[in-house]
Amino acid sequence: MKSSSSHDSERIPIYSHKTREVEIVEKIEKTPEEWRKLLTPDSYRVSREKGTEIAFTGKYHDCHEDGIYRCVCCGTDLFDSKTKFDSGTGWPSFWAPIAEENVQTKSDRSLLMVRTEVLCARCDAHLGHVFDDGPEPTGKRYCMNSASLTFVKR
């Protein structure tokens, strides 16, 4: 187990849409009880327990407004609406994150398949998965859960 003092000093680069710069910030770690106090039950289940929304039920799957999608847990800027597209899957989909620094990916072998999980780089919230069947210019489809996101209009 890490001591809290060694983890408290962990600092990572995160891009801020507001300042348009990469800033060095502290990584966020909370106990499950602390996250439960901050999140709705659905947001907790998806972002902290790696759950998934039912297709076409999330509040952002059909959102067409201009703005920034942020992590529901820590507020980190994750996706710009300018990279959002209708994938037909029922989840909000983007062809790129707002900045590579702001997301992490890792192999996910759950549900008897191999996928690439997408996490918030600052707080390790589960956001969704990324696939190689998206549009140009990246060819990526970041298929996210609305319950892991908040939206701020531009």
**Active site amino acids:** 143
Q: List C-alpha distances in Å: 138 to 54, 55, 96, 117, 132.
A: 26, 24, 7, 17, 9
Count CA within 13 A, CB hemisphere, residue 94. Answer: 26
Place of tokens 């499950």: 32
Q: How far apart are CA 75 and CA 16, in angstroms?
A: 10
